[in-house]
Each structure stands twice: as structure tokens, then as C-alpha cells.
Amino acid sequence: MSEFSIDEKKHLLSKYSFPYNHFQELEKILGYSIKIWDKDETVEYEEICSNELMLKKPLVTVWMPTYNHEKFIEEAIEGVIMQKCDFPFELIIIEDHSSDKTLEKCKEYQSKYPGIIRLFTAKERRPFVLSRMLRTPKFINRILRGKYIAICEGDDFWCDKFKLKIQFEFMEKHADYSLCLHGKYVLDHYKHIIQKSYYLDRDFPENGLLFARSIAELNYGTYTQSMFFRQQAYFNVIDKINRDCLGAPMRDVQIAFHLGLVGNVKYIKRRMSVYRINQNSITHSINYFLIKSYAHIYIMLRNNGLEQWWKYKDDIFERVIPPKYNYKTQNLFTSIKNAIKSYFAHRRFNTYSELTPLERVRMF
């Protein structure tokens, strides 16, 4: 993409209601020019869906974006299919015209589970354009049909078959809550569990404003694959989320922040998902990723007139990230590695790769 002129940038940013001076400040912090996606950009796509599913009214829609996740997508889908629920749910897979066999595997699962899976796939290779396009108000009202929305990206997976049921029942009983989260495991690309979410042992602010402020103060992270939120609350803030995600490495912080501003937030102290760090993951370089995230959080606060919540000095963007973010400490890695070996010895599996996708999601 050629470099935009100042007037072209201002025009594109105006579609998001993103102040140009805030955008300049963000680029200055990051030290590079941010690619601005045209909010009106579209791509031709195909929807593969059964009439049976479209006649149903799901209470929960699971949103699963995927791109080049050939090695992981089966586990992601199996984690959704295995859910034990007494209410109807659907799985929306957004496949961005991968260059590997992701689409082929998604089609196989859609054919196997036509009463659950709707598959959207781009007809041309313009990575992530379909995902962005389907998140705009023009499309999202038709696609996200459930009263509640859950997210699981194609390289993560759920490991608790009661995850949806637990979150659904909580939200049904607490109308003042807009978002529900839970604990996770972390799986590195060598397929060793290397971290359990440390938030399980901490007090979590359930008041929405306190939660949003805790994100601004960098006290809490969010887990995309744990998110379960009200459709209407999400629709009400989608434009602000899309604005504050412009150029950001991920969307989970912005989604959680804006949902916290309009309702309370529940954190369930139970590990029900697995977040995967792989070599192609956007968070693989954790120090660089966090610095980018901090910059976007700072500008997000400015966009929402809440810069008073930012308590850090400008040099935070130049500091080395504290050691607590170094997940691969030798002692932890060694102990977990030994535990995995012991598990496989007991189960008579030699390597993680010998497990079927369903066995992998159930091993936790």
C-alpha cells in the first residue's frame, strides 16, 4: 500500500472518529507509520451454512476468526463442539483465505456439523479484510445472532466442556454484567504448558468502571478465548472498539475496556481455555507486543477523554518489560516438562502430536 497523504489519512481516520493528533502521537510513540484500513473496504466472500441452522435461534454465537491455522484449527473447533449445553448455540468460523489447509479442514467440520457451524470464507487472498469487514455494523447484526457472544480464535481452544454453560448461567442471573471472563492455561509452540493464569489467585474488580480503569493501569490482562459478553452491549460500543483497535496488535483489551464502561465484569476462577503461543503468534515477541499494547491503551484513553487514568510516564514505552512476563523461567519450564512427560507415560502417548484434536482439548 502506498503512503497516504495527510489529507488522505485525515479522511480515513474521520470514518473512525479517530482524532488525527492522537494518531500522530501514537505513530510517534511506536516509531513507525501505521497502516490505516479503509472502514468501507470490502471483499467478496462465501457463506457455507445449512438451512437447518438458519432456522434456529441460537442463544450463544461463538466467533472464531482463523488464518493459516492448519495445525491448530481442529482443536479450536473440537473445543466448541464438545460443549455440554441445554440451550442452542452456533459456531461462526471466519476463514480469511488461508494459504494452507485451514479452509479444507473447516469445510470438513462444517459438513460434519451442519447444525452448529456457519463458515464464512473470503474469495480472494487479502488477509484479515473479511474479519474486519464482518465486524462492522453493516454486517455484524446479521452474523452475530446470539443473545451472547463468545470468542475463540483458531489457534486457541477451550478445554472445559461446561465453559459456555457456566458463563451463560451466570450472565442470565446477572443482567447488570456485560462481560464474563475466566482463567486459562498457556501452551507454547513446543507443546509444553508453561503458565497458568495468575489472576486466579488475585482479587478481581467486578465493578465495570474499576475493571476498565484496572486495564488502563496495566493491572490486568484479558483473554480473548475466555470472553463471553452480551450481544447488545457489544453492538452499542462496536464503533468505539473498531476505532481504538486501529493499528493495534489485538482487540481483546479494547473489547473488555469498552464493555467495562457499560456494565460490570465477572472473572470466574476456573481455567477453561488454552491460549497458544506459537512462532507465528502476534504475541510471540512478548516484550515488543506489550510495549505496542501499552501505547494503544494510552491513546485509547485519550480517545475516550479518560487520559487522567493513565498513571505512567512516557518512558514506560522505552523500558524493559519486568521479568514477570518472562514465561520461560527455567524452573517452571522444567517442572511442567516433567509433569507432561509423566502424564504421557501414564496415558501411553509418546508425544503431544499423537493425540487426536479431541484428546488434546480434553487433556487439561
What one-character-per-residue DSSP string does 197-226 give?
Answer: -GGGGS----SHHHHHHHHHTT-----GGG
Range of the domain at 69: 6-362
In a domain, 53, yes or no: yes
Q: How many domains does the chain have?
A: 1
In a domain, 20, yes or no: yes
pLDDT value of residue 337: 45
pLDDT value of residue 142: 86
Q: Which of 286, 268, 267 is nearest to 194 (CA)?
A: 286
Q: Is the pLDDT of residue 195 over 70?
A: no
Grid cell in block for residue 10:
485525515
Mean of per-residue pLDDT scores for the chain: 83
pLDDT in tens, 310-361: 887 666 666 533 433 333 344 444 444 444 444 444 443 345 556 666 666 6
Neighbours of 118 (CB within 10 A): 21
pLDDT value of residue 149: 98
For the segment 10-29, the average pLDDT, to the nearest whole number, is 93
203: Cα within 13 Å, side-chain hemisphere: 3
pLDDT value of residue 346: 42
Q: Is the pLDDT of residue 1 over 50?
A: no
In a domain, 325, yes or no: yes
For the segment 16-25, the average pLDDT, to the nearest whole number, is 95
pLDDT value of residue 288: 58
In a domain, 282, yes or no: yes
pTM passes above 0.75? yes
SS3 of residue 238 by DSSP: helix
pLDDT in tens, 122-171: 888 777 788 888 888 888 888 999 999 999 999 999 999 999 999 999 99
Distance of CA 355 to the CA centre of its chain: 25
Torsion (CA) 232, 235, 236, 240 in degrees, nearest 10: 150
pLDDT value of residue 42: 86
Could you tell me the CA-to-CA distances from 348 to 75, 327, 337, 364 in Å, in that order?
Answer: 20, 28, 16, 16
Helix (H) / strand (E) element for 61: namely strand 60-66
| Buried-state track 125-146, b at ≥16 Cβ within 10 A, e below 16 | ebeebbbbbbbbeeebeeebbb
For the segment 95-121, the average pLDDT, to the nearest whole number, is 95
Between 221-235, 242-256, 275-289, the lowest mean confidence (pLDDT) is in 275-289
Share in percent of the chain as helix, strand, coil (round to 5): 45, 15, 35
pLDDT value of residue 330: 41
pLDDT value of residue 141: 84
Between 86-100, 214-228, 249-263, 313-327, the lowest mean confidence (pLDDT) is in 313-327
In a domain, 1, yes or no: no
CA distance 54 to 114: 10
Residue with cell 483489551: 253
For the segment 276-297, the average pLDDT, to the nearest whole number, is 67
Q: What are phi and psi of 214, to 5 degrees?
A: -65, -35
pLDDT in tens, 199-228: 566 677 899 999 999 888 876 667 899 999
List the CATH number of the domain containing 213. 3.90.550.10
Q: What are phi and psi of 47, to 5 degrees?
A: -110, 125
